[in-house]
Amino acid sequence: MRLFPALVSWLTLGALHSATASAEDVYRWIQYVDGGHEARVATSAASCPDAMLGNELATMSVRADPDGAFPILVCALSIPTGTRRVAIGGMPLVLPKPTPERILLIGDTGCRISSKKAQACNDISEWPFRLIADTAAEMKPDLVIHVGDYYYRETACPPGKGCAGSPSGDRWDSWREDFFAPARPLLAAAPWVFVRGNHEKCGRGGRGWSRLLDAFPFDAPSACKDGYVSSPSRVSCEKDVSPRFVAHIGEVKLVVIDVSAADEDDPEPNNLVECYRLQFEAAASLKGPVWLAFHEPIWSPRGKEDGKKDGNPTLALAARAALASNANVTAMLSGHIHTFEVMSYFDDLPMQIVSGHSGDQLECFGHEDKCSHQKQFNNHEIKFDDDSIATAKVKFGYGVPNKFGFSMIDRHDDMWTITEHDIHANKQLKCDMRGREIACERLAKTPE
């Protein structure tokens, strides 16, 4: 087992929760946005910090002013193509590589506190996102892709549930504790692509999302006002759907699509199928290879205790015709299901990776016997070859349930290799990705 210094540190410290901010609460990162890259800062200071682009002074603009729920200033600075150095407040930031070789994939990282469930946020074994972030940062990824669901602390912590002292509600304190504080070393380690999850839709964490992480300009009067996410000027279909943007990662075009409004039970809520269809068609028309990043997977076992395995009907109806027989789109990256899964299909469809197990309560956690649709092997791995899910049939499907972790996608000549790690960076599963096909090898056996 690889024992990273970060692991030693956090095992020594024990409890991880801390609601106390430093004298100047400041977070810095670089993210892919519509049209390029941007440095951002969230700070409790009264003004944006000094910035350097190369050897020249630069001025950060105010993205969002403080308000009652978010008493922090959010600043932004566009990074021109060819920039070789960026420093914010005297601290250098890691710039995007033209051709990333190592990509970290995480998702569903927050600590769940809701009216129905309460996770022990103060227990590293029950909410290990901070350890995952520290460990992954030391593995030096070139890019981090977060496939959504950052904000989970929706209600106050019930007595005796292991989350005492936690903030709650769509406000800065909650966003800081759920994401920014535990992710601090990882925010500094590499540029990010942020995907919006259903927990960031309006009525949940939409205000924090639009203010802090959205790839488009912040519009305070319209951001999540009256249940809508965006100003009409940048919404082509329904009001709770943002347009896609493309992150260029070498020869791969990563198309980021906001599916936060896609309903898992209603096949066509608010006529969203047509809106998503247009976005999938636009992605499929790009020259390949193209990867899609969106939160809720389309054709994937849900991992729920009720045994549902019908995927997302809204997205299935929207994507089927657009993605079938179009070899340009080779892979789909998602979260939402709190486990790790990879699958390819008999149909001519992109392969799917699900990496939604980096913090929130795991699917079937402690309830493997209730996951009736999953074929169990030693209670530590699942296969769902030949399963029919919505409008697709799985050719090869493999998962690692009941384990927190993260995924690393590495470039190897004409293929990519995705390796699934547990929270201590032990390798669990390795899969080679060529086009729309995937072949996996189990690397570790979980002890009984």
Q: What is the predicted pLDDT for the residue at 445?
A: 59
- Assigned token pair, 50: 């000094």
Q: What is the predicted pLDDT for the residue at 275?
A: 82
- DSSP single-letter state for residue 181: H
Nearest to 15, CA basis, from 212, 165, 196? 165
Q: Assess contact for 70 and 110: CB atoms under 8 A.
A: no
Amino acid at 10: W
Q: What is the predicted pLDDT for the residue at 74?
A: 98
For residue 235, give Cα distances in angstroms to 204, 207, 220, 249, 285.
20, 17, 16, 25, 20
Q: What is the predicted pLDDT for the residue at 240?
A: 52
Nearest to 299, CA basis, from 233, 370, 350? 350
For residue 401, give Cα distances in angstroms to 266, 296, 339, 361, 376.
27, 17, 5, 12, 10
Q: Assess contact for 348 and 325: CB atoms under 8 A.
A: yes
Q: What is the predicted pLDDT for the residue at 383?
A: 82
Distance, CA of 307 to CA of 292 (rounded, Å): 26
- Assigned token pair, 332: 């789909």
Q: What is the predicted pLDDT for the residue at 360?
A: 95
Q: What is the predicted pLDDT for the residue at 376?
A: 38
Residues of the chain with pLDDT under 50: 1-22, 226-239, 304-307, 365-380, 446-448
Residues in the chain, total? 448
For residue 337, give Cα distances in angstroms to 148, 211, 355, 377.
11, 26, 8, 20
Q: Assess contact for 209 and 196: CB atoms under 8 A.
A: yes
Q: What is the predicted pLDDT for the residue at 373?
A: 38
Q: Assess contact for 432 and 417: CB atoms under 8 A.
A: yes
Q: What is the predicted pLDDT for the residue at 310?
A: 61
Distance, CA of 429 to CA of 270 (rounded, Å): 40
pTM: predicted TM-score of the whole model, two decimal places? 0.89
Q: What is the predicted pLDDT for the residue at 242?
A: 63
Q: Assess contact for 76 and 61: CB atoms under 8 A.
A: yes
